[in-house]
Structure 1
Amino acid sequence: GYNIEQALGMLLWHKHDVEKSLADLANFTPFPDEWTVEDKVLFEQAFGFHGKCFQRIQQMLPDKLIPSLVKYYYSWKKTRSRTSVMDRQARRLGGRKDKEDSDELEEGRGAVSEGEPDAGDPKREPLPSRPLNTRPGPGKKEAQGSQYRHHPLRTRRRPPKGMYLSPEGLTAVSGSPDLANLTLRGLDSQLISLKRQVQSMKQTNSSLRQALEGGIDPLRPPEANTKFNSRWTTDEQLLAVQAIRRYGKDFGAIAEVIGNKTLTQVKTFFVSYRRRFNLEEVLQEWEAEQDGAPGAPVPMEEARRGAPLPGPAPEGEGMRCRSPPSQRLCPDRCPPCRRRLLPRCPSR
């Protein structure tokens, strides 16, 4: 009979006149539902990939309808082997790999020689010879079963992917049931410990991720609102003298040491207090140290806290007072003091 597409095509040809279409049906015969060799091979390949999902099989055979595919499937099922094309190909490749193993070949040859029928035994019938290049027919499964029935080495299967077996491990496990249980318990404990490590790593990663999402604002030190002041206290003056003794005319570094003075204010201090603190002599000492072996640098934080500079004058040596004798408040020599901290005598 006609399928739906052929009937609709006939109806469209007669401009949807049903009577003319029915009268003209006898003049045409539908295409027979023939299956070529290519269609059969495509169906077999599609069935090997998709199984009994005829919608996907129809995608590989678009000119066949699903009822036609189902009908051919049941007729093809009666004459085919239970194994699919992919299974047969995999079994064939597995047989080739087994043949490459020399040990298995030797054992297989011995088994074949033992399994060959005797010519004088009437109960045993010789197996029919099959050419090598012939395509396997529907009875291949029975032939394979009879071929490998007496060869256990040929029918052995390999372990799944990711599983590796060793003769030592198999011997140890099969030695005693208690040893097998102990081995399995050890593997279970290792698996549990690894799972715990994975869980702890996940927790650590999640905590670090939360810390990253929070940002680094809480970890930043508070910004010091430094207010610059033009007035110089006594401590700031002494700190400036120490900084000049250490950094010379590097007024930027001196301003950083003091903290609340600008570069201009430090320059003004150097000009204004040059005679009072004898800053020229301080600079000469700094230049002499630079020409000779300079001492180790003092960190700015220590200098800012008022730490004494290196190289104090040895105890017992003072500096001769430069004040007139009538204005001296001390004897001929000043008491021992740190010359580098106070370049002028305190009695002046």
Structure 2
Amino acid sequence: MLRCWAGHLWRRAGGARGLTRTTRGGWPSVGPMTKKRDSSTIPNADGVSVACEPAGKRAKAAVPAKPPMRILQWNVNGLRALALKGTTLKDVVAREDPDVICLSEVKCREADNPLKLPGYTCFFHESKLKKGGYAGIAMYSKSKPLDVIRGIGVADDEGRAVAIELEKLCVMCIYVPNSGSKLDRLGYRTTTWDKRLREFVAELSADKKKPIALVGDLNVAHLDIDIHDPIRNSLPRNKSAGFCDSERENFSLLLKECNLVDVWRHKYPHATVEGYTYYSHRFNMRAKQKGWRLDYVLLSDQIIDAVSEIRVLQETGSDHLPLVVDLSF
């Protein structure tokens, strides 16, 4: 049954889960910020620096064997524009064969959606704002969902969330509001949107009694190692959208209150450039490996052991890179 979210459900208090520590200033941190990172190297799983090729030149890794559940997430920065930039989603879908596809910032109306995928059903949450080409979510599923929910109760006219209930879990795709270059939406994002998102996820978990996979562009670099230059982006303090104290602290609250685990950081605790998912088109940032990790797969802690792999795909066409997570349960 398709329905829009309405009403207020009770809020469930989540158990504590601490995956990070905080600096004296209050934001999460991994190690001291002492010098600029050498972009020609990346730390391996043991934290030892090894040579790497620029992000734009890395060879595409072989696709692992198909697991029971594969989820593909990508901020496409415009579905219609993507096909003109060297990548077609159909090629990625054919290669990866995901069970669920979560696309954010599609920038089109449902009636104008150019992506038709045989074998999948599409669930759209478009922006209702007058200006076209803004935000928007498109989810595709091979299995028929038991329920579909569009929106979380705030900013629903912007097209920022779709949740589908499957047999074993709920998958939710979101596109968190950007605080803006002048931080004009920072207060709204941190005091209204983030708060309501935590409430919604807790309510969804309590209502469906199933684990949750929350995926999408969360527009925040949670840890110091989730951004290429944490010192420059924190001076002056709280001036960079996506790296403000309140945004990062709210991400920690989301993990804690909703019993969620950041899958990439759980599996690769020391990775830096390997995990970056956003590169500004300005100044050739991708070739310089100067990126941010803004896209996430968050999973209920009760099934974190079901993760067999998570990968950042080296596709072109968008300013974001896709994420693929494999679940075996």
Bin of the TM-score, shorter chain as denominator length: under 0.3
More strand by share: 2
- TM-score normalised to structure 1 length: 0.17
**Which structure has greater helix proportion?**
1
**Larger-Rg structure:** 1
Q: Which TM-score applies when normalising by structure 2?
A: 0.17
